[in-house]
Amino acid sequence: MSIVVRTLSERVFEIVREQIVTGQLPHDLPIRQDALAAELGVSKIPLREALARLEQEGLLTSQANRGYFVQPMSSAQAEEIFELRLAVEPVAAARAARVATDADRRAAIESFERLDDAAEGNLAEVAMRNREFHTALVRPGDRILTTQVVERLTILAERYVIAHLAPAGRDERAHVEHRGLLDAWLARDEATIMSMLSEHIAATLDDLRIEFAAAAAT
């Protein structure tokens, strides 16, 4: 029974996270747990577990006597997320490439292929596959804490990745950059990995800065 409950809670977590990432849940109103549980066809127990986990991941905030709210997107949060990624991810990916096993390398290739296949689908799936790809590049080497940090940051980045990819042509640019990054990673070219990944993350942040500035000016 506990396995079923955990599985259900995990599924509810994934659905609610997608609703947050795609903007289906407003950030200026409390989440109506009764209505959301009814919509998902579950009791409030797995929903509460999912909401608590989403708060731990930084996608929700809770207020006494008011419940859970979606953490609004902001230029300040984007700066923090992507600057932290710049500080951690390029070095971690370079090291992981150096120690990756054949199984790790196959996993990275498969994650890229899933991301490539998702490119014609919805942006929420693209953002999720993007997270999986970036995490696959740092996972080898059994540096569990580093992998957890990168995964947490890429989860927080998903909404911003969707916003970044919305303008026409950006998905094609991202595909070319990811392909080049994978090639360098498979070649264990640590200097190129660090350079390309730094430029890739920084370019996304630059685009987001422009978008936030344009939104603030309107």
The CATH code of the domain that includes 39 is: 1.10.10.10
24 pLDDT above the threshold of 90: no
Q: What is the CA radius of gyration of the chain?
A: 18
The pLDDT value recorded for residue 104 is 97
Asked if 96 and 163 sit in the same domain, the reply is: yes
Which one-letter amino acid corresponds to residue 11? R
Domain that holds residue 44: 2-70
119 pLDDT above the threshold of 80: no
Q: Tokens 């809670």 belong to which residue?
A: 9
Yes or no: say if 199 and 174 are a contact pair by the CB < 8 Å rule: no
Per-residue pLDDT band for 167 (boundaries 50, 70, 90) equals confident
Asked if 40 and 148 sit in the same domain, the reply is: no
Yes or no: say if 134 and 150 are a contact pair by the CB < 8 Å rule: yes
Yes or no: say if 139 and 104 are a contact pair by the CB < 8 Å rule: yes
Residue closest to 135 by CA, chosen among 112, 119, 113: 112
Number of domains composing the chain: 2
Planar angle of CA 196, 197, 202, nearest 5 degrees: 100
Joined tokens for residue 182: 């994978």
Average pLDDT over residues 23-38: 90
Asked if 41 and 133 sit in the same domain, the reply is: no
Joined tokens for residue 197: 């990944």
